[in-house]
């Protein structure tokens, strides 16, 4: 079974479609909601979920601490970290499920799997077969130096991994770089990361992070300490190493 982990500030309508689909799926064991804004809580949506596990600190702890808490709460070894602004075709979730094993790191969707159409187009795209024929391939981080080895900036918006390969994100980083930290830690440990091709993920790019409610000084601070802290954690230069044999 899969434990789904969703930090949310309740800003997006995507959840109203996505969470019921996950709740009804036979491979989903639980949906862990980390509530970062109780004042905006969708009580009706929460009541409708049979597999709900709810957690709140009573304040916004931001996404990386929420991921850490969700991973700790999860009952199952297969984890699915999901942004609340993503709507995904999960008809072939079984293929992804089988791939979530200890010998693989992050399994995220490819750049071409993402689109920014309004969710009104979701049913039409699904009916047309978009996202119905996914396949999973290893990533070579040397191909993506512009994103420090990750394939694109949305890679961490919807990512699967085995609990063995989730590495708690240091408290230095509350909003950004949590997915990159896990990605590079896996590479350092000789665990390769993967992407899902031919998927369908409808989203707003960085919509929650870019909202006015997020303190810009936090983002600036994290960018300024990135190189120093990652070097301190032994991740300097890892982006240019690859477990793929030549």
Q: What is the DSSP string of 191-235?
A: -EEEEEES--EEE-TTTTTTSTTS-HHHHHHHHHHHHHHHHHTT-
Query: Could you give the CA distance from residue 97 to residue 64 in angstroms, rounded to a whole number?
Result: 23
Best CA proximity match to 175, nearest among 219, 217, 114: 219
Lowest mean pLDDT among 53-62, 125-134, 214-223: 214-223
At 240 the pLDDT is 53
190 φ/ψ sector (left φ>0, alpha ψ -120 to 50, else beta): left
Which pair of tokens denotes residue 243? Answer: 């477990």
> Mean pLDDT over residues 144-151, rounded?
87
Best CA proximity match to 104, nearest among 199, 187, 168, 179: 187
Q: Other C-beta atoms within 10 Å of 176: how many?
A: 20
Sheet holding 114-115, edge to edge: 86-88, 201-203, 114-115
Tokens 């309004």 map to which residue?
Answer: 118
Best CA proximity match to 80, nearest among 93, 62, 92, 64: 93
Burial class, 246, CB count within 10 angstroms (exposed 0-12 / middle 13-18 / buried 19+): exposed
Burial class, 34, CB count within 10 angstroms (exposed 0-12 / middle 13-18 / buried 19+): buried
> Mean pLDDT over residues 176-186, rounded?
95
Best CA proximity match to 201, nearest among 143, 139, 140, 116: 116
Which residue(s) pair with 55 in the sheet?
34
At 96 the pLDDT is 98
- Backbone angles phi and psi of 156, in degrees to 5: -85, 5
At 180 the pLDDT is 95
Q: What is the pLDDT of residues 202-218, one digit of tens each?
A: 997 654 445 444 567 88
Q: Considering the chain, what is the average pLDDT of its residues? A: 91
Instruction: Give pTM, 2 decimals.
Output: 0.93
């Amino acid at each position: 079974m899969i434990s789904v982990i969703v930090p949310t500030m309740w800003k997006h309508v995507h959840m109203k479609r996505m969470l019921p689909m996950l709740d009804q799926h036979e491979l989903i064991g639980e949906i862990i909601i980390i509530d970062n804004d109780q004042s905006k809580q969708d009580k009706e949506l929460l009541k409708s979920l049979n597999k709900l596990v709810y957690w709140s600190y009573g304040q916004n702890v931001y996404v990386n601490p929420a991921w850490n808490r969700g991973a700790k709460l999860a009952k199952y070894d297969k984890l699915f970290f999901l942004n609340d602004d993503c709507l995904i075709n999960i008809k072939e979730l079984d293929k992804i499920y089988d791939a979530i094993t200890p010998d693989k790191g992050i399994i995220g969707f490819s750049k071409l799997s993402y689109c920014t159409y309004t969710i009104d187009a979701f049913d039409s795209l699904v009916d047309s077969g978009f996202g119905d024929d996914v396949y999973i391939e290893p990533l070579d981080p040397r191909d993506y130096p512009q994103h420090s080895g990750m394939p694109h900036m949305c890679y961490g918006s919807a990512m699967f991994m085995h609990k063995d390969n989730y590495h708690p994100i240091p408290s230095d980083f509350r909003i950004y770089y949590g997915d990159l930290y896990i990605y590079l830690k896996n590479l350092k440990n000789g665990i390769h990361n993967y992407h899902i091709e031919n998927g369908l993920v409808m989203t707003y790019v960085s919509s929650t992070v870019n909202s006015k409610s997020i303190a810009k000084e936090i983002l600036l601070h994290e960018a300024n300490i990135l190189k120093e802290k990652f070097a301190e954690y032994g991740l300097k230069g890892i982006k240019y190493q690859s477990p793929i044999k030549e």
